[in-house]
Amino acid sequence: MNIQYVKHEDIDFQRWDRCIRKAVNGSIYGYSWYLNTVSKEWNALIDENYENVMPLTYRTILGIKMLIQPHLATNLGVYSSQVLDGEKVNSFIAAIPKEYRYVRINLNKYNKLSVDNIKVSGDIHYELDLIEPYNKIRSRYTKEAINAIKVAEDKNITIISGLNSADLIHIYQKNKGFLWNIFFRQRIATLKVLVSTAVRFRVGHIYGAYQNNNRLCAAAFFVTVHKRATLLFLGLDKEAIKNHVLEAIIDEFIKLHCEQDLTLRFEFASRKKYAGIYAGIGGRRYRFMSIQQNRLPWYLKFLKL
């Protein structure tokens, strides 16, 4: 296998997206339009036939290129039209150019590896298969999850789909606070482009939750490709948190999409408050690999990106 390092401007995006579309481990994160939205700079490792590809998302800090995981793409790694073995993944990791002095990236759950001189750790996410009827899925909810949903029901929380993107961004910003919105304006701009593009491509769906006074208190954004629906990000105000609205939104999504060949995937699983919710509704815990390598000059070794 001949792995080539390809600069962004030289990537054949049609062939790239065809590879992601056919990949056994394809995901929304791998498509060129998604990468172009969430990462200002990215190059790639590609074999000669675009059958195996790996995006290299990076930032240039103080003139030094560093491979960094984009905020809205929690895992990337090697995508392939064939089942991947550890040797192939190792070959891609070994082919990462030395010009990237710092590496901290997450691979997808189908990437297994063992590489010397690189720190290998792991992170987690939760998934829930929706192939079964709703009652069977709900039967595996914990008592805490059922009680949480009942709290939302008792508060007359109404869940709707088809919320507009402006309301989604508004509740997300409101949840973050004034200072966050000042320092992370670029992140908000990225979210706006991402949501509008995903909705235009008909892979993005927005759910909103309203209190009985018709006030929006929560919103959640799902993207669905490759038979996987991912809860990508959400906004909850204080009342929504208190009234367990997130559990109600997830429950509603399950009601609407059960008995389909679809897997519901949850982000934010590294945060305990969310991990407990996902596990409570029956989500299965998975681990994906994270690789780290630090060849920075001694005076920059302290950086954690």
Whether residue 149 sits in one domain with residue 60: no
pLDDT at 80: 95
Domain membership of residue 41 (yes or no) is yes
pLDDT at 305: 57
Tens digit of each residue's pLDDT (9 = 90 or more) over 102-123 = 999 999 989 987 666 566 666 7
What are the residues whose beta carbons fall under 8 Å from the beta carbon of 298, sequence distance 6 or more?
A: none
Residues of the chain with pLDDT under 50: none
Domain membership of residue 273 (yes or no) is no
Whether residue 253 sits in one domain with residue 137: yes
C-alpha separations of 218 from 94, 170, 234, 236 in Å = 44, 10, 7, 4
Domain membership of residue 268 (yes or no) is no
Q: 0.75 exceeded by the pTM?
A: yes
Cα–Cα distance for residue pair 227/41, rounded to 1 Å = 28
Would you say 244 and 254 are in contact if contact means Cβ atoms under 8 Å apart?
no
pLDDT at 255: 97
Q: Which amino acid is it at 130?
A: L
What are the residues whose beta carbons fall under 8 Å from the beta carbon of 46, sequence distance 6 or more?
A: 3, 4, 6, 11, 16, 52, 53, 54
Q: Work out the angle between the directed axes of helices 165-176 and 185-200 (0-180°, nearest 10).
A: 150
Print the domain residue range for 78: 3-123+288-300
pLDDT at 124: 80
pLDDT at 259: 97
Whether residue 213 sits in one domain with residue 109: no
pLDDT at 18: 96
Number of domains into which the chain is organized: 2
